[in-house]
Every structure is written in structure tokens, then in C-alpha cells.
Structure 1
Amino acid sequence: MAEPKSMNSEPMPLDMENRDPNNMNEHVRVLFEDAFGEPDGSHSIEGVWGMSFKTFNGVKNCCYIVLSVLCGCPMAFCWAMDFACVQCCHIWMVGPCVHMWKMNVSCLKMFWGSCVHCLCDPCFEACGLCFSLIRVQNKNG
């Protein structure tokens, strides 16, 4: 019998550089080049383009930092509670319910299998006997 995992197992160390190691949020990555592009023949003054780049990145980064400070911990708390509730529900309700369902369905499976065998096997055996008497001959005329 395998030993249960320790309740005190440490989670992976927090990587402060790569904060999306599973690329879960690649779809929300927005760079200046993703939002703006000036085609040939429609270029603004270099200073305007440069300041637009700095403004976009500065406002986006500053706004994200402010929103993260205001919402990050409360949202982490809410999501932790949600995941804990779902985990508890699966461990104490869904898992046992599925196990009980499988137990009951296995009895039904055996019953249904014997009914099908009792009803169909004689017919299939009779058909097999009838078809086994067929002989095919090739006559070249």
C-alpha cells in the first residue's frame, strides 16, 4: 500500500521573473505594436510616435499596477475560496457519488448483459448454423 503524501509538502518556489510559466494568459498580452501600426505613407512625426509609445506603455503599466494593488489580494482570496469549495465538493460529494454510481451501474451492466445474451445468443447461433450450410461453387461454363 502506498504511503499518503505529506500534508506539509511545500509548493514550488515562487518565480518572480517568469510569472506565467504555463502561458495561461498569453492571449491578454498587449504590446504597443499589437494595438498601433502606421503603414508606409502614413507616418506621424517621430516625436509623436515615440511619445505615443511611452504614453501607452506608461499608462498601461501604471494602471495595471494600481489595479493589481487594489484587486490582486482580494481576488486571490476570492479565487482561493472558490477553488477550496470546489475541491471540497469534489472530495466529499462528487467523488463518492461517482463511485456509488459506478457500483450501481456495474450491477445493471451485468443484468443487461445476461438479458442480451439470453435473448440474442440463440438467434445468432441459429443464423450461424443456417449460414454455415451455404456452399459456394464456382462453375466455369
Structure 2
Amino acid sequence: MTALGALPHRHVLTLPTGPGAVRLARETAERALAEWGVDAAHPAVVPALLILSELVANSVRHAAGASPQTTVVYAAGPDCLVLAVHDRHPHRPRLFGPDGARPPGGLATVVELTHGLGGTAVVRGDADGPGKSVWITLPL
């Protein structure tokens, strides 16, 4: 996995965990990618926007009560794109079941799209207690 600090392009957006969050996160991603010179027609862009939308929607749907804010990290380098969605809800979703099966619902789509593009998906818990980030790394 590429170290975030090694990527030349980074942007962090903190927004209310509520209506409009998905749209704002997605529009911010589109603007950032354009500013960074990532071609909107690149095969990873549309799936990346769908992945981002699903992760932010999950925060809105499941974490709003425990996490009034959601933070999205966007980063890119010449060969990869990194997206992370953080909230303070204590539940840490499993991206794979004990038998290696994908999770149900939207996270299955996230995992399928990520792995289909040759990327990685991980859930990282907060060092200070409740909360987690879902990190997606996609090759460009």
C-alpha cells in the first residue's frame, strides 16, 4: 500500500453526517480529480465515485447518531488513488466474512469494485477508541 504522505495530491473534507453528504463528497472528488489531472474517462474514476458514494451513504445511514461529522480523505499520485471515509461510530464493518465471503449490501459492491480494479480495501479502527475509517486504494 502506498503511504499517504508519499502522494503528491491530498484533500480532506469534513462534512455533516446527513442529507447532502454523499453529493458534496462526490462533487469534491470530481473537482479534486480534475485539478490533479486525473482524466474523468479513466476506467477507475466512475467506480471510485460509486465506492465513495456508498461509503459516505453508509456513514449517513448507520453512523449519524454517534458521529455528527464524517471526514473524507482524497489522495492521488501518478499510479494510485486513495479514498478514505471516517466516522466515529464504534461498529467496524467486516469486508469479508470468516469464510472469505463478501459482506451483504453496499459493502459487497465496494469490495467487488475495488478488487475488480486491482485495489485494496481495509477498515482501520481509531487509535483513541470508537470510530473507524474505510480505506480504498485503486491503481491509476
TM-score (norm: length of structure 2): 0.25
Which has more radius of gyration? 1
TM-score (norm: length of structure 1): 0.25
Structure ranking higher in helix proportion? 1
Greater relative contact order, per chain length (Cα 8 Å cut-off, separation 6+): 2
Structure ranking higher in strand proportion? 2
